[in-house]
Amino acid sequence: MTAGLSIRPLQEADLEDAERVRRLAFGTFLGLPEPLSFSGDAEYARGRWQADPTAAFAAELDGELVGSNFATRWGSFAFFGPLTVRPDLWERGIAQRLLERTMALFSEWGVRHSGLFTFPTSPRHLGLYQKFGFWPRLLTPILAKTVAPGPRQLSWSRFSQPSEREQADCLGACRALTDSIYAGLDLEREIQAVERQRLGDTLLAWDGDTLTGFAVCHCGPGTEAGGDTCYVKFAAARPGPTAERAFEQLLEACEAFAATRGLSQLVAGVNSARQDAYRRMLARGFRMQFVGVTMERGAGPGFNRPEVYILDDWR
Ligand SMILES: CC(C)(COP(=O)(O)OP(=O)(O)OC[C@H]1O[C@@H](n2cnc3c(N)ncnc32)[C@H](O)[C@@H]1OP(=O)(O)O)[C@@H](O)C(=O)NCCC(=O)NCCS
């Protein structure tokens, strides 16, 4: 253990250091020649902190920020990450201290199910998270597709377009849709983060008054997408007999949206438990960029089930 270590809320003044340690930690773990180049111009720390400053923690040693962790609550479900520690201080229990604090927050939130995304072949990562009751389940491939060129008609509405009152209705409709997949699942935080920080937009598809699907997208540098990319942070199609069609339309809309933003790559993660969703993406020409494993805490499969049409990856 490291004497003098304190775990405290992450402050705005810490964000630059937190982002640097995040790049250095991942870049070092992955053996990059220039570790700080990890994830290019994609950014996590500021966006996550602004989405919920009470859910981000700093590890401080001798007045310096040496690690951080970010928790995310989607209603009845929560996940954490990126969790990072400065490489010269690995294996001294710092991540475990950050996780103790994060687990206390999960308890306060009273979530039914929680999880994380990690490296499936790393004994260090699996061993660390198992100590906190998270067990490896299925793989989550991160998939990418080159956006087909040419003009596109985007028939879906966008969250950024309606008035504030209408936005409240949209949030309610999104909540009802996700609740019908997993009780209490609520993406308001992600939708509002994208809206308030101008990270991209949330696409909404309607059949009359019924929301059939929505997709929360980050676009370009300074967001979790980075570069020339539209990243689907979360998307869901309404369950039931028309779910397959709604999901295909959702993928089509995300690609059209990327094209309207002049972005050439569309990226989305899908848990392989959602078998049909995964197969349909491959059939559309998505290819795997890399693969993580989910580790989960909570009874049952949560929303990682074969009949579910959700895109997300918990990174
Ligand atoms: C992963 C990371 C956050 C761990 O930070 P850390 O401060 O070194 O972790 P800790 O010292 O608190 O805990 C390490 C634990 O790993 C586990 N571990 C390590 N090697 C292991 C092995 N071969 N088998 C099983 N468990 C192992 C142990 O539980 C160990 O704790 P213990 O020895 O006290 O029981 C850090 O290595 C890091 O920043 N890596 C790069 C970024 C990253 O991968 N982040 C996580 C993405 S999901």
CATH of the domain at 186: 3.40.630.30
Six token digits for residue 171: 């949030």
How far CA 200 is from CA of 7, 40, 162, 225, 270, in Å, comes to 32, 18, 15, 9, 20
In the numeric block, the tokens 């950050």 are attached to: 98
- Distance between CA atoms of 82 and 45, rounded to whole angstroms? 9
Distance 94 CA to ligand 1 centre (A): 9
Residues 223, 287 within the same domain: yes
- Total of domains in the chain: 2
Residue with CA closest to ligand 1 atom 26 = 127
Are residues 159 and 62 both part of a single domain? Answer: no
**89 lies in the same domain as 187:** no
Of 55, 90, 111, the residue at which a domain comes to its end is 111
Domain for residue 306, yes or no? yes
211 and 87: one domain? Answer: no
* Domain membership flag for residue 134: no
Report how far ligand 1's centroid is from the alpha carbon of 95 (Å). 7
* Same-domain status, 105 and 177: no
Does 152 share its domain with 226?
Answer: yes
- Give phi and psi for 87, each to the nearest 5: -55, -35
> What is the span of the domain harbouring residue 257?
144-312
Q: What contacts 141, CB < 8 A, 6 or more positions away?
A: 269, 270, 272, 278, 288, 289, 290, 291, 292
Cβ–ligand 1 contact at 122 (below 6 Å): no
Residues 100 and 223 in one domain: no
Q: Is residue 86 part of a domain?
A: yes
Q: How far is the CA of 298 from the centre of ligand 1 (A)?
A: 22
Residue 199 CA to ligand 1 centre (angstroms):
31
Both 58 and 193 in one domain: the answer is no
Which protein residue's CA is at the shortest distance from atom 48 of ligand 1?
118
Same domain membership, residue 152 and residue 55: no
User: In this prediction, what percent of the chain has a pLDDT beyond 70?
Assistant: 98
Residue 29 pLDDT > 80: yes
| CB of 38 closer than 6 angstroms to any ligand 1 atom | no
Burial class (CB in 10 A: 0-12, 13-18, 19+), 241: exposed
Residue 123 located in a structural domain: no
Give the position, in ligand 1's atom list, of the atom nearest the Cα of 21.
39
Residue 149 pLDDT greater than 80, yes or no: no
Q: Is 127 in the pocket of ligand 1 (CB under 6 A)?
A: yes
Is residue 126, in this structure, part of any structural domain at all?
Answer: no
Q: Which of 21, 48, 90 to mutate to test the pocket of ligand 1 (most atoms within 8 A of CB)?
A: 90
Task: Provide the whole-model pTM.
Answer: 0.96
- Sign of the four-CA dihedral 134, 138, 144, 148: negative
Residue 176, CA distances (Å) to 172, 211, 212, 245, 287 in order: 6, 9, 11, 19, 31
Residue 293 has what pLDDT? 98
Dist. CA 221 → ligand 1 center (Å)? 30
- Find out whether the beta carbon of 83 lies less than 6 Å from any atom of ligand 1: yes
- 132 pLDDT exceeds 70? yes
191 pLDDT more than 80:
yes
What confidence score (pLDDT) does residue 209 get? 87
Beta carbon of 29 within 6 Å of any ligand 1 atom: yes
Task: Give residue 156's pLDDT band: very low, low, confident or very high (50, 70, 90).
Answer: confident
Q: Cα of 98 to ligand 1 centre, how many Å?
A: 12
In the listed set 111, 135, 169, which residue is the last one of a domain according to the structure?
111
